[in-house]
């Protein structure tokens, strides 16, 4: 799924976008996921028509958390799956447009019944049946033997790859001489963890 951020949105900001039945599925301040901000597992909130980010720092007494007001102009699409009382799953997706950090526009992108409890139970039963059959096969000697061979070859492949990886300093020297670092100063970032 990749990295994302969380955004806390009060239920009151979603009124008018949802009908009463849909509104009842949400409780007070709801935490949604978004991929439109930093994607670093940061925490944001909508408060007083503004966008805020939780800043964490450490001082002598321990951790300090403060909410910093942002001045971003950004469209934030946020979403979540929510279960109702019957354990049916609903998909909610909204879009809020912030102009210099101030809430400018709200939009309901999607609100739909994703799956019913009966359907989910049926899928779980089907999946469990398949896994029982697969797990029985995984116990046989042939499967275990070749899975072990695969692990061994994978370790050897990774070892061999490390043996012929170009050293970072050599790559830096080549990039400097070719002029690539002047053209793209971030060209070496991809190779720094190797």
pLDDT of the residue at 185: 87
Torsion of CA 15, 17, 19, 24, to 10 degrees: -50
Q: What is the pLDDT of residue 104?
A: 95
DSSP state of 15: B
- The whole-angstrom separation of Cα 164 and Cα 177 is 22
Task: Indicate whether 28 pLDDT > 90.
Answer: no
Q: Is 80 exceeded by the pLDDT of residue 106?
A: yes
User: Is residue 178 very low, low, confident or very high in pLDDT (cuts 50, 70, 90)?
Assistant: very high
Of 35, 68, 23, nearest to 50 by C-alpha is 68
The tens digit of pLDDT for each residue in 131-153 reads 999 999 999 999 999 999 999 99
Q: What's the whole-number average pLDDT of the chain?
A: 92
pTM (whole model) above 0.75: no
Q: Which residue has the tokens 């978004």?
A: 34
- Residue 191: is its pLDDT beyond 90? no
> Residue 80 pLDDT > 90, yes or no?
yes
Q: What are 174's two structure tokens? A: 């080549």
Q: Look at residue 64 in the predicted model and tell me its pLDDT.
A: 83
Q: What is the pLDDT of residue 189?
A: 87
What is the tens place of the pLDDT at every residue in 52-77? 999 987 766 667 889 999 999 999 99
Write down the pLDDT at residue 130.
Answer: 97
Task: Give CA–CA dist 178/172, Å, rounded.
Answer: 10
């Amino acid at each position: 799924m990749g990295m994302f951020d969380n955004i806390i949105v009060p239920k009151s900001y979603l009124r008018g976008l949802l009908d009463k039945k849909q509104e009842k599925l949400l409780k007070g301040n709801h935490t949604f996921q978004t991929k439109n901000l930093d994607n670093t597992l940061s925490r944001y909130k909508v408060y007083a028509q503004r966008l805020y980010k939780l800043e964490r720092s450490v001082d002598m007494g321990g951790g300090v958390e403060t909410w910093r007001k942002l001045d971003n102009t950004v469209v934030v699409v946020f979403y979540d799956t929510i279960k109702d009382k019957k354990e049916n799953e609903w998909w909610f997706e909204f879009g809020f447009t912030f102009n210099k950090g101030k809430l400018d526009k709200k939009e309901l992108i999607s609100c739909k019944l994703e799956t019913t409890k009966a359907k989910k139970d049926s899928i779980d039963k089907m999946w469990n049946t398949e896994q029982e059959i697969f797990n029985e096969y995984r116990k046989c000697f042939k499967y275990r033997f070749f899975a072990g061979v695969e692990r061994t070859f994978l370790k050897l492949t990774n070892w061999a790859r490390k043996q012929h990886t170009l050293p970072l300093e050599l790559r830096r020297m080549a990039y400097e001489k070719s002029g690539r670092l002047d053209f793209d100063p971030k060209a070496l970032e991809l190779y720094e963890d190797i």
